[in-house]
């Protein structure tokens, strides 16, 4: 027997635990000991995908369509397997440009368009609010059912609960409080909410445990295993359980739909992209999240079978998870299931509202205010907007639930929401891999796809709720049969989701591609396209700001939009007292824009900077410069070709010349020629000149190929470089190095090479030596496992103590060694020689291999 107050007590306690966990997560993050720095937490937080709609609804679907419900999980499995290709790329770009929402991503990709961001945000809100309503309905219904225990009530018989007695209202209000507390704690350039993520991961564990516990108890407690359960179901004629349900066409479409949903639903984007702290976590989520989904679905079919056996087919299968344990008198299990459902609903609502509120504030409200010339303090305003939109979105969801809650139509809103966010797929996937997509293409595609979605999926839903006359559905608008929303052009034989998806995707992709191909992108769009599509290949980014902005103006903008503390943090390392009057260099402007983008969105950040810097002058030349990368690559290839040809022809010829002159010299000696005579001297000189030419040639060849170091390895590169310097400077340089290639990584090789170069250069410049010895030791006797390089000269030394540390490039050499985890020792006396010794200790050397 569960009394109402007991259930309320448990629910409130559960939410209290959630608050405590979120609080703890935030505290840990503040203390710098983050717990979300683990792949497991990331994988679990992605499981926010499993909402109360799937928690209860999967069983409902299974009761009528058998394993048909699995498509909702199989699509995501495929998408997550592609995680390294797609999700990681999105994360990479988002982090680099401080993109904090899906709307911002689309807007940033297509030239930081304000209108586009607003459109995406609006579609997301319209598409997802009914989905939030669905969660509230689940909470409200299950609460009503469980508090009436042991009597089992069907949710259809519940009727509308009076407003003030409705649990969903209180849950909505409590969740608004939670979300405001942990989702908008501060305005941060990264928009990460570690406490929230920790709580979400915890909720994922709770719902899994609850569902699996119910499944095990039903399967082995009430029945004796799968065989018994399905045997009885077969005997009772529940054949739907044994099929795939629906048509295979529907199955395919649902797979495709959920494949996009796992990334494109605002909550998935929030936990998967915005809250991601390390790209490598994606690797873990690629298999762990699907495994989670598998575990939570194993018992769906058995519970559906048990429910059908107990209550028959005419009943509300959506609450079987709850009613089967209740009917068996397992009250505590029913309570656990209720808490699991509560966690599924609350997790979804929390993350979804945070994601939507960021979109609303950054892509709709702030740009609108800036357009109107708002000049006040933005930081507080943004936080206020977010808090207000959280409350507004939750109340909207609740209002929708109150208005449409009774109809079965609300249940089908889950898939309709999936179809709404799938409209973003062409813009985002296309934007990642296709440079040709333009802003106008996306605008028309999105608007068209959304219009078709509204017509074929949303309006029929309204019709089912009774908000739109039904005749419209059955006979088309104005009686035009070809325009029936669920049977456009009279097509039949497709279910409404497949039908809606087919038409909306056709229009969406079609407009996107056609308009993009026919139109001409603006310079800025092209620039952004290059930045996004080539994100993984190109570590440097072009400087886009060419206008002159005083540092002070930048500081003011930062203070205005993020507050003093955040502004100071963003401008760390810039001496404001000295520099505030000067113009900022393009790098700094870019940095400030990126930081701002994190707080207010890419489009707004661009607008704000434009307001202080004037319209930026992004001319055709700059864009050409960026698009010229390809020609740079071509130039490199040309140099390679040249180097190869010179090596094969001139170098070889010079080499044979040295051999021949040597032969002539010897022949002359044999014939008894005068070794001091003019002929002999001439030939010796000729040989010297040829050898010099050969060394010079080799040095030039080495310099022609910028990645020679990478190709030849450290030892060989040092040898060639030394030969070049030796012939140019007239110094004898000996190189002693192992004949094999040291197994070091590229970066370590590069730094070590530069250190040697610098040391040799220093020696020649300051010590005027007669010879330089370079020794490269891998695994030396006194330091096994370490890599040691010594550069010794016999010139005039210096006292290391008196030379300022900044002089002679010593700082840069030290810095280079420090970067790769090694050290530098300089041994020199004013009277004697100098030895520069670079040591890479065994541990680091091992790691760098």
Partner 1 sequence: MRRGARDDKRFTGLTILAAATGFVLFLPPLLTAANDGGTVAGVPAVAAYLFGAWLAVIALVALVVRRSG
Q: Is 637 in the site for partner 1 (CB under 8 A)?
A: no
Least distance between partner 1 and beta carbon 510 (Å)? 24
CB-nearer residue toward partner 1: 64 or 835: 64
Least distance between partner 1 and beta carbon 251 (Å)? 7
Q: Is 732 in the site for partner 1 (CB under 8 A)?
A: no
Q: Is 226 in the site for partner 1 (CB under 8 A)?
A: yes
Size of the site for partner 1 (CB under 8 A): 42
* Contact yes or no for 446/515 (Cβ under 8 A): no
Q: Which stretch binds partner 1 (CB under 8 A): 64-72, 213-221, 267-275, 434-442?
A: 64-72
Q: Is 638 in the site for partner 1 (CB under 8 A)?
A: no
DSSP structure string for 205-233:
HHHHHHHHHHHHIIIIIISSHHHHHHHHH
Q: Is 714 in the site for partner 1 (CB under 8 A)?
A: no
Tally the residues of the chain: 849
* Contact yes or no for 488/482 (Cβ under 8 A): yes
* Contact yes or no for 725/764 (Cβ under 8 A): yes
Q: Is 13 in the site for partner 1 (CB under 8 A)?
A: no
Least distance between partner 1 and beta carbon 262 (Å)? 13
Dist CA 22 CA 258 (whole Å): 29
Through-space distance between the first and last CA atoms of the chain, rounded to whole angstroms: 66
SS3 at position 706: coil
In the list 234, 642, 666, 679, the residue contacting partner 1 (rule: CB under 8 A) is 234
Q: Is 501 in the site for partner 1 (CB under 8 A)?
A: no
Least distance between partner 1 and beta carbon 231 (Å)? 6
Q: Which residues contact 807 (CB under 8 A, 6 or more apart)?
A: none
Least distance between partner 1 and beta carbon 142 (Å)? 26
Q: Which stretch binds partner 1 (CB under 8 A): 66-74, 328-336, 425-433, 825-833?
A: 66-74
In the list 12, 17, 20, 85, the residue contacting partner 1 (rule: CB under 8 A) is 85
CA of residue 645 relative to chain centroid, distance: 44
In the list 587, 745, 815, 847, the residue contacting partner 1 (rule: CB under 8 A) is 745
Q: Is 241 in the site for partner 1 (CB under 8 A)?
A: yes
Residue 445 has what DSSP assignment?
Answer: H
CB-nearer residue toward partner 1: 67 or 133: 67
In the list 252, 517, 679, 843, the residue contacting partner 1 (rule: CB under 8 A) is 252
> In a 10 Å sphere around its CB, with 0-12 CB exposed, 13-18 middle and 19+ buried, how is residue 126 labelled?
middle
Dist CA 445 CA 507 (whole Å): 7
CB-nearer residue toward partner 1: 81 or 517: 81
Rg (CA), the chain: 35
Q: Is 514 in the site for partner 1 (CB under 8 A)?
A: no
Partner residues linked to 774 by β-bridges: 735, 791
Q: Is 255 in the site for partner 1 (CB under 8 A)?
A: yes
CB-nearer residue toward partner 1: 57 or 809: 57
In the list 170, 230, 434, 462, the residue contacting partner 1 (rule: CB under 8 A) is 230
In the list 54, 65, 77, 504, the residue contacting partner 1 (rule: CB under 8 A) is 77
Tokens describing residue 829: 């006396």
Please report, for residues 476, 491, 498, 503, 812, the alpha-carbon distance to residue 483 in angstroms, rounded to integers and kept in the order given. 5, 10, 17, 12, 73
DSSP structure string for 630-692:
HHHHHHHHHHHHHHHHHIIIIIHHHHHHHHHHHHHHHHHHHTT--TTSHHHHHHHHHHHHHHH
Q: Is 775 in the site for partner 1 (CB under 8 A)?
A: no
Q: Is 538 in the site for partner 1 (CB under 8 A)?
A: no
Least distance between partner 1 and beta carbon 640 (Å)? 14
Q: Is 210 in the site for partner 1 (CB under 8 A)?
A: no
Binding mask 285-304 for partner 1 (x = CB under 8 A): -xx--xx--x---x--x---
Q: Is 40 in the site for partner 1 (CB under 8 A)?
A: no
Q: Is 284 in the site for partner 1 (CB under 8 A)?
A: yes
In the list 13, 40, 156, 239, the residue contacting partner 1 (rule: CB under 8 A) is 239
Q: Is 173 in the site for partner 1 (CB under 8 A)?
A: no
Dist CA 191 CA 94 (whole Å): 11
Q: Is 248 in the site for partner 1 (CB under 8 A)?
A: yes
Dist CA 548 CA 569 (whole Å): 23
Dist CA 83 CA 89 (whole Å): 9
Helix (H) or strand (E) holding 790: strand 787-793
Q: Of 238, 258, 268, nearest to 347 (Cα)?
A: 268
Q: Is 633 in the site for partner 1 (CB under 8 A)?
A: no
Burial 182-217 (b: 16+ CB within 10 A, else e): bbbbebebebbbbbbbbbbbbbbebbbebbebbbeb
Q: Is 283 in the site for partner 1 (CB under 8 A)?
A: yes
Least distance between partner 1 and beta carbon 304 (Å)? 11
Backbone phi and psi for residue 699, each to the nearest 5 degrees, phi listed first:
-65, -45
Q: Is 66 in the site for partner 1 (CB under 8 A)?
A: yes
SS3 at position 173: helix
Least distance between partner 1 and beta carbon 290 (Å)? 5
Q: Is 129 in the site for partner 1 (CB under 8 A)?
A: no
Q: Which residues bind partner 1 (CB under 8 A)?
A: 66-67, 70, 73-74, 77-85, 225-228, 230-231, 234, 239, 241-244, 248, 251-252, 255, 283-284, 286-287, 290-291, 294, 298, 301, 710, 745-746
């Amino acid at each position: 027997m569960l009394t109402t107050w007991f259930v309320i007590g448990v629910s409130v306690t559960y939410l209290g635990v959630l608050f405590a966990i979120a609080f703890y997560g935030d505290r840990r993050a503040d203390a710098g000991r983050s717990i979300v720095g683990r792949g497991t937490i990331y994988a679990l937080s992605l499981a926010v995908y499993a909402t109360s709609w799937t928690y209860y609804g999967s069983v409902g679907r299974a009761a009528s369509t058998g394993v048909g419900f699995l498509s909702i999980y199989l699509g995501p499995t495929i998408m997550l397997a592609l995680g390294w290709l797609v999700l990681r790329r999105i994360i990479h770009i988002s982090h680099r440009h401080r993109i904090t929402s899906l709307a911002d991503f689309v807007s940033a990709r297509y030239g930081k368009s304000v209108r586009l961001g607003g459109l995406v945000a609006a579609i997301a809100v319209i598409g997802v609010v009914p989905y939030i309503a669905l969660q509230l309905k689940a909470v409200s219904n299950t609460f009503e059912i469980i508090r009436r225990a042991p009597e089992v009530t069907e949710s259809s018989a519940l009727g509308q609960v009076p407003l003030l007695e409705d649990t969903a209202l209180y849950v909505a209000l409590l969740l608004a409080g939670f979300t405001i507390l942990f989702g908008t704690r501060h305005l941060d350039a990264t928009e990460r909410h570690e406490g929230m993520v920790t709580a979400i991961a915890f909720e994922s564990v709770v719902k899994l445990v609850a569902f699996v516990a119910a499944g095990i108890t039903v399967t082995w407690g009430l029945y004796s295993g799968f065989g018994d359960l399905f045997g009885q179901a077969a005997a009772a004629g529940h054949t739907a359980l044994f099929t795939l349900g629906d048509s295979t066409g529907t199955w395919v479409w649902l797979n495709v739909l959920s494949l996009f949903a796992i990334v494109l639903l605002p909550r998935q984007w929030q936990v998967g992209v915005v809250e991601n702290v390390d790209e490598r976590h994606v690797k873990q989520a690629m298999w762990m999240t699907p495994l989670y989904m598998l575990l939570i679905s194993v018992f769906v079919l058995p519970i559906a079978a048990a429910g059908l056996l107990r209550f028959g087919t005419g009943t509300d299968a959506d609450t079987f998870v709850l009613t089967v344990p209740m009917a068996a008198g397992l009250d505590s299990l029913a309570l656990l299931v209720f808490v699991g459902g509560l966690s599924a609903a609350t997790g979804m609502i929390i993350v979804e509202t945070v994601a939507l509120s960021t979109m609303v504030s950054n892509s709709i409200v702030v740009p609108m205010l800036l357009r109107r010339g708002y000049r006040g303090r933005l930081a507080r305003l943004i936080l206020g907007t977010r808090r207000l939109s959280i409350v507004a979105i939750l109340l909207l969801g609740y209002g929708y639930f109150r208005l449409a809650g009774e109809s079965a139509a609300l249940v089908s809103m889950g898939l309709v929401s999936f179809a709404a966010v799938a409209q973003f797929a062409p813009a985002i996937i296309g934007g990642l891999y296709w440079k040709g997509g333009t802003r106008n293409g996306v605008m028309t595609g999105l608007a068209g796809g959304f219009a078709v979605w509204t017509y074929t999926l949303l309006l029929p839903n309204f019709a089912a709720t009774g908000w739109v006359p039904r005749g419209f559905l059955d006979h088309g608008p104005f009686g035009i049969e070809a325009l029936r929303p669920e049977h456009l052009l009279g097509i039949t034989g497709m279910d409404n989701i497949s039908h809606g998806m087919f038409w909306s995707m056709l229009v969406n992709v079609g407009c996107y591609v056609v308009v993009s191909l026919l139109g001409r992108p603006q310079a800025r769009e092209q620039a952004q396209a290059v930045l996004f599509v080539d994100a993984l290949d190109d570590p440097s980014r072009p400087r886009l700001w060419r206008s002159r902005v005083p540092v002070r103006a930048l500081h003011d903008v930062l203070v205005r939009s993020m507050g003093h503390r955040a502004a100071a943090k963003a401008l760390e390392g810039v001496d404001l007292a000295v520099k505030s009057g000067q113009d900022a260099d393009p790098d700094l402007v870019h940095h400030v824009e990126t930081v701002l983008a994190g707080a207010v969105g890419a489009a707004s950040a661009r607008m704000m900077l434009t307001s202080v810097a004037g319209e930026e002058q992004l001319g055709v030349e700059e864009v050409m410069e960026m698009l010229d990368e390809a020609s740079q690559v071509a130039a490199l290839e040309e140099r390679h070709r040249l180097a190869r040809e010179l090596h094969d022809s001139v170098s070889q010829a010079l080499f044979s010349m040295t051999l021949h002159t040597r032969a002539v010299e010897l022949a002359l000696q044999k014939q008894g020629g005068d070794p001091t005579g003019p002929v002999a001297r001439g030939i010796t000189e000729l040989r010297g000149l040829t050898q010099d030419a050969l060394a010079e040639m080799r040095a030039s060849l080495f310099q022609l190929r910028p990645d020679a170091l990478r190709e030849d390895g450290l030892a060989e590169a040092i040898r060639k470089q030394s030969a070049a310097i030796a012939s140019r400077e007239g110094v004898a340089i000996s190189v002693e190095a192992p004949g094999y290639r040291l197994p070091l990584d590229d970066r370590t090789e590069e730094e070590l090479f530069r250190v040697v170069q610098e040391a040799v250069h220093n020696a020649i410049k300051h010590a005027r030596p007669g010879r330089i010895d370079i020794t490269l030791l891998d695994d030396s006797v006194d330091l096994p496992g370490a890599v040691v390089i010594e550069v010794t000269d016999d010139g005039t030394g210096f006292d290391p103590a008196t030379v300022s540390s900044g002089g002679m490039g010593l700082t840069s050499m030290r810095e280079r060694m420090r970067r790769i985890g090694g050290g530098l020792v300089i041994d020199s006396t004013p009277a004697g020689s100098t030895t520069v010794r670079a040591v890479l200790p065994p541990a680091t050397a091992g790691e760098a291999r």
